[in-house]
Structure 1
């Protein structure tokens, strides 16, 4: 028999009533505690976001950002030397060589600057592509052989089962 807590509240002094009140108090604090926790997390994340936006906008001068950007990002450019592998010395001294290990010389006619730009070698990209294709093809061949072997094993088990069923008749 199911008795609700509201019907028991009329009977004062009952231990069941006190249990119902205790249960109601703990149930009410759960959602409030969760809501409080979620609110605190939200304000913490909002505070971090505002702090990052303040620090990213502070200390940056518009004059510094224009001079810091390479000319090939701002204006039209002409490739003076094609993409080539950096030497050991260039890899240590030039920032453009660090990313890919290849660099090309750029001329910017508007600002009359010569700069170096990181680039990707066509030959290196092509060899990486064919290595990837070879790996994919070899893996597909291995898995095809595994599927065939598994299918043969399952067919053998099925024929053994059928043979045993026929022998038992």
Structure 2
């Protein structure tokens, strides 16, 4: 039992340590690349490219895509261009949710109609079977 706890603890520690290293937070000092990457936190900036969904290429290229799945390109005053994670587009997410709900409702109605049709057919077959049994007496 204690061995398993120790294994899981070590696994979690290694995972989080590697995650912090990727984002430049665990190594004490920030290098120039990390400073320009997060320049929007300390400098004034303008948005060059509006918030959009990360493509599969962008997801593998920019760590900012991992947070919300949306990024925007910003231009900082002194550091230059940087990629920043941005919040999800709630209108788009709401639209996708209601489309999903619509599909679920349509599929439910179709399934219900198929079940009712099958029940009618089975009931009709039972009635015919019972009539044949009665007529054979």
TM-score (norm 2): 0.53
Give the 3-state SS of the residue equivalent to 2:108 in structure 1: helix
Could you list the per-position Cα deviations for residues 23-81 of structure 1 after superposition, in whole angstroms to 9, with x for gaps in the alignment?
Answer: xxxxxxxxxxxxxxxxxxx2431331343466567x956777xx99x7xxxxxxxxx87
Select 1:163's aligned residue among 127, 131, 134: 131
1:160/1:86 CA distance change after superposition, 3 Å: closer
**C-alpha RMSD of the superposition:** 4.7
Aligned residues: 115
The Cα shift of 1:133 comes to 1.4
The normalised TM-score by structure 1 is 0.45
Distance apart, 1:158 and its partner CA: 1.5
Larger Rg: 1
Compared CA separation, residues 138 and 87, structure 1 to 2 (3 A) = closer
Q: Which structure: greater helix fraction? A: 1
| Distance change (3 Å), C-alpha of 1:118 and 1:95 | farther
Q: Which residue of 2 aligns with 1:10?
A: none
Please state if 1:45 is matched with 2:13.
no
Q: Which runs of 5+ in 1 are unaligned?
A: 1-41, 71-79, 106-114
CA change 1:165–1:104 in 2 (3 A) is farther
Query: Equivalent residue for 2:51?
Result: 84
Instruction: Find the aligned partners of 1:126 and 1:49 in 2 and give their Cα distance.
Output: 38
Structure 2: which 5+ runs fail to align?
39-45, 75-82
Which one of 86, 89, 92 corresponds to residue 124 of structure 1? 92
Bigger RCO (CA 8 Å, 6+ sep): 2
Partner of 1:144: 112
Query: Residue 141 and residue 162 in structure 1: after superposition, are their counterparts in 2 closer, same or farther (change >3 A)?
Result: same
